[in-house]
């Protein structure tokens, strides 16, 4: 009977570890997506600034 309890506890620990690993992976994926979005925003902003500068220079 003690062996059954120990085995069940080990299985529960393994499940908890797997869940924690999955959560960590999801967090990493979310961080990567945020970095991609931030990079895209910076790129688009830079392009817009360049276009505005060019347009301003044409007016001068």
Q: Does the predicted TM-score (pTM) go above 0.85?
A: no
Ordered per-residue pLDDT tens for the chain, 60 residues: 577 788 888 889 999 999 999 999 999 999 988 888 888 888 889 889 999 998 888 887
* Residue whose token pair is 């276009």: 51
Please give the tally of structural domains in the chain.
Answer: 1
CA distance 21 to 15: 10
pLDDT score, position 29: 92
Expressed as residue numbers, the domain containing 12 is 1-60
């Amino acid at each position: 009977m003690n062996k059954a309890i120990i085995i069940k506890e080990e299985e529960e620990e393994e499940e908890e570890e797997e869940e924690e690993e999955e959560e960590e992976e999801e967090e990493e994926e979310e961080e990567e997506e945020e970095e991609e979005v931030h990079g895209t925003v910076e790129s688009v902003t830079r392009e817009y600034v360049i276009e505005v500068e060019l347009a301003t220079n044409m007016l001068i």
